[in-house]
Structures are given as C-alpha cells and as structure tokens.
Amino acid sequence: MKFLSSRAVALIAALAALSIAAQTAPAPQTTTQQPANPEPHGKVIFSRSTDENGKTTIEVGPGAIPPAIQMASEPSAEDTERQAVTVTALNLDVHLHTASHQIAVRAQVTVRNDGKSPLARIPLQISSSLNWEQIRITGKNITFSAATLNSDTDHTGQLHEAAVPLAQPLAPGATLQLDVAYSGAIVPSSQRLTTIGTPADVALHSDWDEISDAFTGLRGFGNVVWYPVSSVPVILGDGARLFDEIGRHKLHLSGAHFTLHLTVEFPHGEPPTVALVNGLPVSLAVADAHGLDADLEGVATASVENATLGFEAPSLFVAERNTQAGSTLIVRALPDNEASAPRWIAAAAAVEPFVESWLGPHSQVPLTVLDLPDPQDAPYETGAMLAASLTQVPTERLEGVLVHALTHTHKQSRTRPDLAWLNEGLATFMESLWVEKRHGRDQALQMLESDRAALALAEPPSPGESAGTPLADATAPIYYRTKAAYVLWMLRDLISDQALSATLRAYDSESVDSSGSATSNPQSPLQKLLKQAGVIRDLSWFFSDWVDADKGLPDLSIQSAFSAPSPGGTVLVAVNVANAGYAAAEVPVTVRTAHNSVTERALVPARGRVIHRILVVGPPTEVQVNDGSVPETQASMHVTSMEDAQSPQPAPGTSSSGQEPPPQ
C-alpha cells in the first residue's frame, strides 16, 4: 500500500481549504461525505509520496529545498539552555497514516527565553522514533545539528534533539517562532522499562502509545514525545527526577496557546469514530469512497482552534469505538466490551449526586471513558477523559474511580485551566470523601496515609535547607495530589463541610489567574473565596505555612499529660503538645475515659508548644493527638496512656517523635 496516493493528495489539499472548527457539544457526531473527484483548492502545506521501492519523500511547502542536517555523535546543548526555553504556543498540522503507523507533522513553535542569559541556539526534542526534516526561521531554512539524547521522557528511552543556531541571540524574555517538520512511525515500545528489568509484557501494557488503524493513542511528554519540547534528560530509577521533569514540562506549558489541524488517512471502510485532543472530544469530518475506489484510503479531519493548555501534556487519541451515553458520562467501547458500558453509566449516575452535593451542578463537559485495546493496558487520565479497559475495573472500585474522574469534569474549562493542586488535589480529596461516606473517616485517612511517608521524604527538613515547593508551583504528584488533598482535609476541619462546599462551588477558573504562582499572588484565590463564603476566621497562618509557601511538615509529640479532679465528678486533663517542625498545625486532641471521649482542636505553633485543657467525666485513660488528618514528618497519630503520662517525659512506646522544640 502506498503511503499516500496521488488522488489522496488531491483530496487532502481540498480538505485543507476547509476550516473544520472544533465542536464543544458533549457528544460530537461523526459525519460522512462522499467526494466527487474534487479539484484541489487551498495551499498544500506539505506533500508525501512513495516510489516503487517504498521510499517516502516529504516536501514542506512548494519547491522546498531540502535542509542541511548535520548528524552529531553527541548532543551539544547544555541543560541550562534546555531549562531556559519555554514553549508559549504550539500550532500543529498533524497527518496520520494509520495503516503504516506513520505521523508527519508541520509545527509552528513559539518559544520564550526564560533564562538569565541570551540564547545562541534553541534545543528542541522529539521522540527517537521520529526524525527531524526541516527547521525554518522567518521563512529561511536553517542548517542545524541533530543528535540522540538518552531520556526516559519518551517510551523509547531516547529523544532526537535538534540544536537550532540563531543568527542573533535570543535575549531573556524575548520570543521566537520556529517552523519545523518531522515524521516517523510510532509503535508500542517497551525499551525504557525493559532496560531497568521490567518484564516485557508488563512494560508493553504500560507503554502502549501507538498509531494503528483501530486505535491511536499519543499521551505526550512522559510517554511519547510527538510534539516539540525542550527538556532536561532524565532516567528512570534516578529517584523522582523523571516525574519532576514531567511536572516541570506541564507547568511550563500551562497557559500556552494550542492549535491543531488533524488529518487521518484510514483504510477504506474503516473510519475512526472518535477523536479526543487534550482529553476533550472534537468533531470528525469523514470522507470515504463508498465503493467508488476500494483502493483509495479515506480521510478524516478535525481541528482545535486557539485552545489554552492547562497543567497537562498535549495528547491525541483517535479510535474506532461504539458509543453509549449517560447524563454525565460518554462511554466509547470496543464491540466486545459494549456489555460493560451500562455498568459504568450506572456507577456514574450513582455517584454524581454526591459530587454535586460538594461541587454544585455538573458542567457542560461530559466525562469520556475510552476503552483501551488490551484489557491489561494501564489506565490513563487527562482532562475530562479516562482511558481504561471497561472490563478490568472491579465494581467495588468503580464508583471511587468515577468520583475522581467526574470531579475533573465539574471544574473543566476549555479556556482557563485550573491550578494543578486545585484540580488533581481536589479530585483526590473527593475520592477520599467517597471512601469516608462508604467506609468511615478512619478508612479515608488511611487512603491518604499510604502516601504520607513519600511526602515526608520530599518535604524540606527546614525552610533554611530548602525553599520547598509552594502548591501553585508544584510539579511533583506528591505535592499537587497528596499534599493538596491533605490541605483540603485540614481546611475542611478548620471551617466546616458547608463552608468548604460553598467555596468550592464558587471557585471558577475563569475568574482567577490560573497561570500565576503562589509567589506572585500574595493571596490564594481559595483564600479570597473563603471570605466570600462567610468564613470570618483568620486563616492567614494556614495559607502561609501550607499553600503559599512550603515550610515542611509539623513534627508533633505529647510532652506530658496531667489530670486533676474538678467539681461535680469531672476531671480536668492538661495535654502538653510540642511541635518540632516549621509548619503550624491545628490538630484534634482527644481524651478518653472508660465510657466516653471528648475531642477538641488545638493550634500548635511552629517550633513551639501548647498546653490544651479538656474537661471529661470520669478518670481519663488515654490521650490522643492528631488522627491522621494532618500529615507529619513521622507518625501522624500520637497516643499516650494516662497511667504513664503523669511525668513531663513522653511515655515509652508512644508514636511521638521525641524531638524537643526550643524553649519559648
């Protein structure tokens, strides 16, 4: 089969003149058109042809002169140059040839120098399965060097990096547009995972990105680098550096302008039925020969115009799937798995009232569940899309999964994305609330506790040793997911369910600057909305220590506990709580007797201590500080028996850290 026949070239040229606007309807319809041998109109952006020997030739623009690409034995760019480059706009013209797994792209890439020094060259990278063909600046071909760069941000474990020289250095803060072309084949690759010892079958079910007739899934940076990037090379197994670099990429792309024009060549009679770009559905226009020429491939087109990227890696999915829709959920299922779709729709209907009770009525963006080709493929989530095997999510877990995913759609915006911690953190928080609803508070806190140790390792021991990571600037999941969920739990306990729900309902990413960092915004948008919701308590200490700056985690301990008889058969218990950490915390303090318990909240200052007094009926038997709702450096629950707690020293065997704060 030829890569592109002459009639298909003419058909694509005609379709290129059409402006296929991205649709915003919840369930985009696929339309079928019958071409009548149209004459080419418009400008052919680039053409491809295959000779009788199978050699493919690509031309960018009419009469394009092949560029001079110098292959280098090793990369020449420096990490400081890679870190300085920020992509502010991507305008992609993407052609897929599904039968041969091929992609050909012409891209206009706008970059900004965010470094402190002028840049004499611009490093740009794509997957090692793709090859650079041309780079132009102001309409002129540029001679550049290309080299292979080892980096596990792509499933092949390598990138092809072009070092683009500039006639005039790019000054700090200045922008530049590059016109680039590249192409190649994308098939599943287990290379980066098998290199570190992962079994081949497990690796392929994790790195399933590919282009094929029935399914195209390109998850973007961190999985397959199908669009130009500038990144620091990182290797799996080097701590959390890979995930930090993925987060840095997403953060730097937040607010970037994004345009995509997609053309898909598919085998006659096998048109794709669904396309999703960055997690949102787009409308497909399909042209097929309908028996006029069985050898002529069909063409499907779609467009996304002037979108704004959030904290996400641009993604592209095209597939043949059958559709079943609920009120807030669209299931795109493989024929063999259609019987499972009603189970997902019913589960979404069951949890939606709970989500609405916290976040308000559902938005106009439905959740799309895309059935993955293999039941063992690892699930993937972005925006308002969840890619997963319909048959592999157990029924007992399905509702929690959908609470998380539907939370994203409630606050999904096509023009102004959320801050990452108010998106992923909120989804994790809502999932934990569902666990609480079904199994109780202790079980919900155990869900958060499973990641607390990793958070404690990531946090700075003290503000003086590390600046830490304010939540708005977070690039690691342990911050924008785990810590963010803890912050919302603590905020809930500081105010009330009703006040927090009113705040979350009022939160609208359209009305706040989602691109600003905490360091540039003296007051968090959430903090302002709390006041509008009627919260009069001064919570500036909380946002200062937990949101707008990163002061690490508290380190609490029960220093002593004393009891004294009071009138009427009551007992006054004094609990001395110390905090050796640099973040203040308000925690529950519970005193138990043989027949009852009393819980009150105590604010323990950073590097300080507090004596909290509680009146109980009957002799106290046990004192507990914190219940796991406030993350700490070590244990997040401290229990002391009153029989052992009358001395000023912590009781042996308790979970306190034993670190003494400095005297006040």
The secondary structure of 467-523, three-state, reads: CCCCHHHCCCHHHHHHHHHHHHHHHHHHCCHHHHHHHHHHCCHHHCCCCCCCCCCCC
Position 47 confidence tier, pLDDT thresholds 50, 70, 90: low
In the chain, the percentage of residues whose pLDDT exceeds 90 is 66
Structural domains of the chain ordered from first start: 6-320 (2.60.40.1730), 336-417 (no CATH), 421-546 (1.10.390), 556-641 (2.60.40.10)
Q: What angle do CA 109, 110, 113 make, to 5 degrees?
A: 130
Do 460 and 466 form a contact (C-beta atoms < 8 A)? yes
pLDDT for position 643? 74
- What the block records as the tokens of 90 is 């991507």
Average pLDDT over residues 424-445: 95
Cα dihedral 411/414/419/424 (nearest 10) = 50
Over 80: is that where the pLDDT of 290 sits? Answer: no
Over 50: is that where the pLDDT of 437 sits? Answer: yes
Average pLDDT over residues 6-28: 34
Do 207 and 187 form a contact (C-beta atoms < 8 A)? no
| Residue 64: other Cβ atoms inside 10 A | 16
- Give the mean pLDDT of the chain: 84
User: Global pTM?
Assistant: 0.83
Position 100 confidence tier, pLDDT thresholds 50, 70, 90: very high
State whether the Cα torsion 620-622-627-631 is positive or negative: positive
Q: What is the tens place of the pLDDT at every residue in 177-231? A: 999 999 999 999 999 999 999 999 999 999 999 999 999 999 999 999 999 999 9
pLDDT for position 205? 94
Over 70: is that where the pLDDT of 43 sits? Answer: no
Q: What is the tens place of the pLDDT at every residue in 605-638? A: 999 999 999 999 989 999 999 999 999 998 889 9
The amino acid that residue 249 corresponds to is: H
In the chain, the percentage of residues whose pLDDT exceeds 70 is 81
Average pLDDT over residues 16-32: 34
- What the block records as the tokens of 515 is 């691109």
Q: What is the tens place of the pLDDT at every residue in 350-385? A: 999 999 999 988 776 899 999 999 999 999 999 899
Position 524 confidence tier, pLDDT thresholds 50, 70, 90: low
The amino acid that residue 368 corresponds to is: T
Over 70: is that where the pLDDT of 70 sits? Answer: yes
Alpha carbons within 13 angstroms on the beta-carbon side of residue 71 total 3
pLDDT for position 49? 52
Do 49 and 33 form a contact (C-beta atoms < 8 A)? no
Of residues 21 and 523, more confidence is placed in: 523
What residues form DSSP beta bridges with 71?
146
Task: Indicate the burial class of 268 (C-beta count within 10 angstroms; 0-12, 13-18, 19 or more).
Answer: middle
